[in-house]
Amino acid sequence: MLRKSLFLIIAVGLSLCLAGEFLALVPNTAPDDLAGQYTVVGVTGRGTLVLGDESELADLFARDGSWLAADPKDHLYFTVRLFAQASRTDLAAVSRILDFDGEQYLVEVESDAVERFIAVPAMRGRISLNGWVMDRPTPKLPVVLSNPSVEQIVARVSSDSVLAFVRRLQQYRNRYSTGDSCKAAAQWIAATFRAYGCDTVILQNHTTNHAPNVVGVRYGTSGQRSPYAIIDGHFDAYAASNAPGADDNASGTVSAIEACRVTQGFQFRHDLRFIAFSGEEFGLLGSEYYAGRARSQGDSILGVLNFDMIAYEDSAPEDLEVIGKIASPACGPFVDWFIAVADTYTSLPCSKEMVSDMQSSDQGPFWNNGYLGFCGIEDYWPGNPYYHTPGDSIGAGYNNNNFCTEVIRAGVAALATMGEPVPQNVPSVGLLHKLLDDSAGNDNGKWDAGESVAVFLTLKNFGMAGATGVSAAVSSTDPYVTLYNVDAAYGDIAGLDTAVNAVPFTMKAAPNTPREHVADFDLTISSAESSWQTTFSFPIGEYLNTDPIPDGPRVPARYWAYDDVDTLYPEHPNYEWVEVNAQGTRLTFSDNDDVVPVSLPAAFGPFRYYGRSYSQISVSADGWIAAGNYTTSNFDNTILPSTSAPRATVFANWDDLYPVSGSGGAGYVYWFHDSANHRFIVEYDSVKYYSGSNRDKFEVIFYDTTVTTPTGDNVIVAQYKTAAGFTSSTVGIQDSTRAIAIQDLFNGTLAHGASPIVPGRAIKYTTAPGTGVAEPTRRLTPDAFHLTLDRNPVCGSAQVRFSLRQASSVRLEAFDRTGRKLTTLVSSFASAGSHATTWDTREVPTGIYFLRLTAAGGQRSLKVVVGR
């Protein structure tokens, strides 16, 4: 009894000392057994790594667990296996060693020390703190039987082609992920994917200053973008000065490039994705971003074929080590399946290696998100003596092109088998694209509750033989959808040709349809030769990051958040930085979490916020500003709304900041009343975070009540000149009851409708509701300011016409539905009157786009439907 009481006293005492979130190690317990209570983030040779909080300390100690670190999301964590030339002392100089399991170290690294850390000769695996997914369903893999189409595809793999691609990547002598050479390599890979017939190519930005991921997609005949199969390799290399990276990892990247080349001209039931990841050497940055997005979007992935270092032979004959995860997810059957494919189509010797976890290559984040995958590597652990040296080039580090080619043949065979090739000597008609037209409704490019829409479905005959008398019928059991016109005739469709319905399918969403409801449809395609079944879906009430965010939870909203990419809404802000550090009043904080009240100048008037008037604001050192006199410090950010958060507050960057005067140049905070422009500005000038060396410069602009709103509340604009942090902060606003709020960002996760915090971002909080987009007048007159097209929808190209009231500098740009700029069509000085230019959309995927004209007369936007 005494022992039990003593244990409880110790546990309670420690819970007071170790409050907040922590990283811990639990021995002798499987990850699945901990997932219900903790967030599982990794496995070492000594146990399972978990995230917990103070409420779980007693359970942790009862399990003989080890508390490792506080506030883990403020740091980075890696497993490290040192090479012979490195020592524990080298590692301790750039990280904090938390544990050692006899083979690998577990270390904590500050964000500003990452480049010094990766310079230590070692194999590293980054521990993601997002948490493992335990229950994702496993897709059914095709039976491995010799398929003539797969044999034909594999026969196209060429050792000459493989070597030429590796040589081309090696010519980018420094593929360090943050270097210009690596970014140039990304552009070359994207161009190569396009040249080999990908239906779309995505340059996926994931981390500031790093080269993007490159994703090539070959569409399948099912018309569904999911499930799909992936072949990938990372194209970045180490080190910063000279990084040819032939084996690590031009060889693996070329598996995706060559697979793209040899599958050109073939059709598959499922989509194929060819991916070149960046940021791998920095800790799987690119693949973690991709896999996390796939998980959040609900993507189904048939399997991930990740190849990393497949061209160095240290002993003959070399074999491919195929590394799978033992559990969560159980990848053993997938590894067995791949080896069966390799045995069927190639002479590649393979060795099956099963591990509890391995986060040193790009299959790791897919495992964390519950997807099947493996890492194919020449040796585990790597035995290439030229690893991470300038000697990793063709002839030295890359010394066996034939072995590399045979590995790629096996990867191509597995990819093609997962994709399920479509026979080419018969017609095979499937859904290629879908297009929704809401011009009869609110014409905002989305399907909203209560709105009637027209649907155009593009069918493709993926076979070589023609299909005669093609027709299609749509059906749905969705309770919120009423179908009207459900049949369409397509006529004859020749082999590899496409057709779109001239008369649209029509349907309506019920007024009470829940926001972001997904409506599912069945599509039956018929011809004289055969019939085919497929499905498609449309979201109703979808949020895009080009939409404003209402406060809540309640209807109707009072405040709305618009950011600068919400360009189709008149209330969107433009980023216009106002520098006040030279003329403003500097605030002095007595400690790093201090809050300082500031009385508003009489000329500014009251600050009216959520219906209440205030004569003061209270500026926190931790990136938030409360209405009125509120001096309770709070550095521990939360979700919004929250009773733990300050009331009636604007959270520009709520994090543990450190703008304390005299603390070694940690930044300052200034305020300035700009009476001429009716605004009061608070600037956080290059403010340091409490941990690490990152700094950020941002400001909050309060407009006085002469800038009117429907409710009389003040307009507030937050602007961000830099964005080094924002991974552990809260951005948004909250009312005085702490029950109503807008959360733009919390700990790196964006709200629906929010855009990432990047340099040049502006967010406007106002009570003017987001009611839609005003379309410009279609008729052009010489004295008007207008924008129009000669045809809409656009197929191939269109003439864009605009007129100006006066001579002006002109900028005409095209954007996709997410606000991402595609191209600049015009950037010049133009005279008053009418003008025209041509927009070539042949390389633009079908969908909804927007043109934006900026000139002296203001801005005009035009929605464009791109078809085929």
Binned at pLDDT 50, 70 and 90, residue 771 comes out as low
Question: Are 712 and 806 part of one and the same domain?
Answer: no
Question: Are 556 and 671 part of one and the same domain?
Answer: yes
Query: Which pLDDT does position 865 carry in this prediction?
Result: 74
Please determine, for residue 795, whether its predicted confidence score (pLDDT) is greater than 70: no
Tokens 């910063």 belong to residue: 240
Binned at pLDDT 50, 70 and 90, residue 383 comes out as confident
Question: Are 508 and 591 part of one and the same domain?
Answer: no
Please determine, for residue 661, whether its predicted confidence score (pLDDT) is greater than 70: no
Query: Which pLDDT does position 783 carry in this prediction?
Result: 46
CATH classification of the domain holding 793: 2.60.40.1930
Q: What is the mean pLDDT of residues 208-226?
A: 91
Report DSSP state, residue 55.
Answer: G
pLDDT top residue among 345 and 852:
345
Q: What is the mean pLDDT of residues 136-151?
A: 88
Question: Are 448 and 358 part of one and the same domain?
Answer: no
CATH classification of the domain holding 199: 3.40.630.10
Closest CA to 377 of 476, 307, 296, 288: 307
Question: Are 205 and 266 part of one and the same domain?
Answer: yes
Within 8 A by CB and 6+ apart from 813, the residues are: 821, 822, 823, 824, 825, 851, 852, 854
* Structural domain ending residue among the three candidates 699, 732, 766: 766
pLDDT top residue among 814 and 290:
290
Give domain status of residue 133, yes or no. Answer: no
Closest CA to 155 of 346, 419, 407, 402: 346
Within 8 A by CB and 6+ apart from 255, the residues are: 231, 232, 233, 305, 307, 310, 407, 408, 411, 412
Least confident span in 70-84, 151-165, 470-484, 785-799: 785-799
Question: Are 681 and 734 part of one and the same domain?
Answer: yes
Query: Which pLDDT does position 642 carry in this prediction?
Result: 94
Tokens 């197929």 belong to residue: 795
Question: Are 270 and 411 part of one and the same domain?
Answer: yes
Q: What is the mean pLDDT of residues 48-52?
A: 95
Question: Are 651 and 520 part of one and the same domain?
Answer: no
Give domain status of residue 453, yes or no. Answer: yes
- Where would I find the H helices in 19-143? 31-34, 57-62, 88-92, 114-117
CATH classification of the domain holding 526: 2.60.40.10
Please determine, for residue 659, whether its predicted confidence score (pLDDT) is greater than 80: yes
Burial status of residue 414 (CB atoms within 10 A of its CB: 0-12, 13-18, 19 or more): buried
Query: Which pLDDT does position 777 carry in this prediction?
Result: 32
Query: Which pLDDT does position 627 carry in this prediction?
Result: 98
Query: Which pLDDT does position 470 carry in this prediction?
Result: 98
Q: What is the mean pLDDT of residues 777-789?
A: 55
Binned at pLDDT 50, 70 and 90, residue 163 comes out as very high
Q: What is the mean pLDDT of residues 326-334?
A: 95
* Each residue's pLDDT tens digit, 552-606: 988 889 999 999 988 878 899 999 999 999 999 999 998 889 999 999 999 999 9
Closest CA to 564 of 760, 323, 330, 352: 760
Please determine, for residue 303, whether its predicted confidence score (pLDDT) is greater than 90: yes
| Residue 297: Cβ within 10 Å count | 9
Query: Which pLDDT does position 611 carry in this prediction?
Result: 95
Determine what percent of the chain is predicted with pLDDT higher than 70: 94
* Structural domain ending residue among the three candidates 517, 540, 563: 540
Please, are residues 700 and 681 in contact by the beta-carbon 8 Å criterion? Answer: yes
Query: Which pLDDT does position 712 carry in this prediction?
Result: 94
Give domain status of residue 690, yes or no. Answer: yes
Question: Are 226 and 99 part of one and the same domain?
Answer: no
Least confident span in 80-89, 190-199, 530-539, 829-838: 829-838
Phi, psi for residue 149 in degrees, rounded to 5 = -65, -40
pLDDT top residue among 370 and 803:
370
Tokens 């500098």 belong to residue: 809
Binned at pLDDT 50, 70 and 90, residue 662 comes out as low
Of 162-176, 232-246, 248-262, 421-435, the range with the highest mean pLDDT is 248-262
Q: What is the mean pLDDT of residues 94-115?
A: 94
Question: Are 391 and 262 part of one and the same domain?
Answer: yes
Query: Which pLDDT does position 772 carry in this prediction?
Result: 47
Give domain status of residue 647, yes or no. Answer: yes
Question: Are 363 and 435 part of one and the same domain?
Answer: no
Binned at pLDDT 50, 70 and 90, residue 9 comes out as very low
Q: What is the mean pLDDT of residues 468-490?
A: 97
Closest CA to 748 of 639, 859, 592: 639
Give domain status of residue 790, yes or no. Answer: yes
Give domain status of residue 773, yes or no. Answer: no
Please determine, for residue 12, whether its predicted confidence score (pLDDT) is greater than 90: no
Please determine, for residue 663, whether its predicted confidence score (pLDDT) is greater than 70: no
Within 8 A by CB and 6+ apart from 29, the residues are: 47, 48, 63
Least confident span in 284-288, 485-489, 792-796, 828-832: 792-796
Report DSSP state, residue 601.
Answer: P
Q: What is the mean pLDDT of residues 716-741?
A: 95
Phi, psi for residue 409 in degrees, rounded to 5 = -60, -45
Give the DSSP H or E segment for 129.
none
Q: What is the mean pLDDT of the chain?
A: 89
* Structural domain ending residue among the three candidates 483, 512, 540: 540
Q: What is the mean pLDDT of residues 669-680?
A: 97
Please determine, for residue 282, whether its predicted confidence score (pLDDT) is greater than 90: yes
| Count of domains observed in the chain | 5
Binned at pLDDT 50, 70 and 90, residue 857 comes out as low
Least confident span in 94-98, 380-384, 491-495, 702-706: 380-384
Give domain status of residue 847, yes or no. Answer: yes
**Which structural domain, as residue segments, surrounds residue 836?**
786-866
HSE of 431, CA atoms in CB hemisphere, 13 A: 24
How far is residue 41's CA from residue 29's CA, in Å, rounded to a whole number? 14
pLDDT top residue among 144 and 661:
144
Give domain status of residue 781, yes or no. Answer: no
Query: Which pLDDT does position 739 carry in this prediction?
Result: 95
Question: Are 301 and 207 part of one and the same domain?
Answer: yes
